[in-house]
Homo-oligomer: A and B are copies of this chain.
Amino acid sequence: MSEDIKDKIENMGAAALSASRVLATLGTDKKNQILLAMADKLLSDSDSIIEANKVDISAAEENGLTNAMIDRLRLDESRVEAIADSIRQVASLPDPVGQIMDDWERPNGMQIRQIRVPIGVIGIIYESRPNVTSDAAVLCLKTGNATILRGGKESIHSNKAIAASLQSGGEVAGLPKNCIQLIPFTERESVNHLAQMDQYLDLIIPRGGAGLIEAVVSMARMPVIKHYDGICHLYIDDECDSDMARKLVIDSKTQKPSVCNALETLLVSETIAESWLPLIAADLIEKDVELRCDEKSLTIIGDSALAAKDEDWRAEYLDLILSIKVVKDINEAIDHINEYGSHHSDCIVTGSDRKAQQFMSEIDSATVFWNVSTRFSDGEEFGFGAEIGISTDKLHARGPMALRELTSYKYLITGNGQTKA
Which residues on A are within 8 Å of B, measured CB to CB? 21, 24-25, 104, 106, 110, 112, 117, 119-120, 198, 202-203, 217-218, 221, 223-225, 241, 244, 247-248, 250-251, 255-256, 338, 356, 360-362, 364-373, 375-376, 381-383, 393-396, 398-400, 408-421
Q: Is the CB of A416 within 8 A of B203?
A: no
Assuming the contacts A104-B383, A217-B221, A223-B223, asked whether A410 and B365 have C-beta atoms less than 8 A apart, the reply is yes
Question: In the complex the two chains form, what is the Cα distance from A217 to B197 in whole Å?
Answer: 12
* Chain B contacts for A410, CB-based, 8 A: 364-368, 398-399
Report which of B112, B203, B251, B416 forms a contact with A419, defined as CB distance below 8 A.
B251
Known: A119-B394, A409-B398, A419-B248. A338 touches B21 (CB 8 A): yes
Question: Please, how many angstroms separate the alpha-carbon atoms of A394 and B400 in the complex?
Answer: 19
Decide if A370 touches B414 in the complex (CB within 8 Å). Answer: yes
Chain B residues in 8 Å Cβ range of A241 = 417
Chain B residues with CB under 8 Å of A110's CB are 372, 376
Show 29 A/B contacts (Cβ-Cβ < 8 Å), sorted by A. A21-B362, A21-B364, A24-B364, A25-B361, A104-B383, A117-B364, A198-B217, A202-B395, A203-B395, A218-B221, A241-B417, A244-B416, A247-B419, A255-B420, A256-B420, A367-B410, A367-B412, A367-B413, A368-B410, A368-B411, A368-B412, A368-B413, A370-B413, A373-B418, A375-B419, A376-B413, A376-B418, A395-B396, A399-B410
Residues in B whose Cβ lies below 8 Å from that of A419: 247-248, 250-251, 255, 373, 375
A367:B417 contact, CB within 8 angstroms:
no
> In whole angstroms, how far apart are the Cα atoms of A361 and B113 in the complex?
12
- Cα A24 to Cα B358 in complex, Å, equals 12
Q: Which of B218, B255, B370 touches A421 (beta carbons < 8 Å)?
A: B255
Task: Collect the chain B residues with CB atoms within 8 Å of residue A251's CB.
Answer: 419-421
B221 lies within 8 A of A373 (CB):
no
Q: A109's closest neighbor in chain B, by CB?
A: B372
Query: Complex: how many Å from CA A115 to CA B411?
Result: 23
A36 to chain B, nearest CB (A): 24
Complex CA–CA separation, A286 to B382 (angstroms): 61
Other-chain residue from B217, B381, B394 in contact with A202 (beta carbon distance below 8 A): B394
User: Which residue of chain B is the closest to A343 with respect to CB atoms?
Assistant: B410
Contacts of A369 in B (CB 8 A): 413-415
**Which of chain B's residues have a CB closer than 8 A to the CB of A256?**
420
Q: How far is the CA of A23 from the CA of B305 in the complex (A)?
A: 39
* Closest Cβ–Cβ distance, residue A402 to chain B (whole Å): 12
> Cβ of A408 and Cβ of B420 under 8 Å apart?
no
Rounded to whole angstroms, the CA-CA distance of A368 and B117 in the bound complex is 13
Min C-beta distance of A324 to chain B, whole Å: 20
- Min CB distance, A287 to chain B, in Å? 11
What is the bound-complex CA distance between A88 and B77, given in angstroms? Answer: 66
- Cα A290 to Cα B156 with chains together (Å): 56
Residues of the B chain whose Cβ atoms lie less than 8 Å from the Cβ of A223: 223-224, 393, 395-396
A350-B88 Cα distance, complex, nearest whole Å:
41
Residues of B within 8 A of A112 (CB): 382
Chain B hits for A368, CB < 8 A: 410-413
Question: Top 6 nearest A-B pairs by Cβ distance?
Answer: A251-B419, A372-B415, A396-B396, A394-B408, A375-B420, A244-B417
Q: Which residue of B lies closest to A370 (CB)?
A: B414
| A420 neighbours in B (Cβ, 8 Å) | 251, 255-256, 373, 375-376, 381
Q: Which residues of B contact A104 (CB under 8 A)?
A: 383
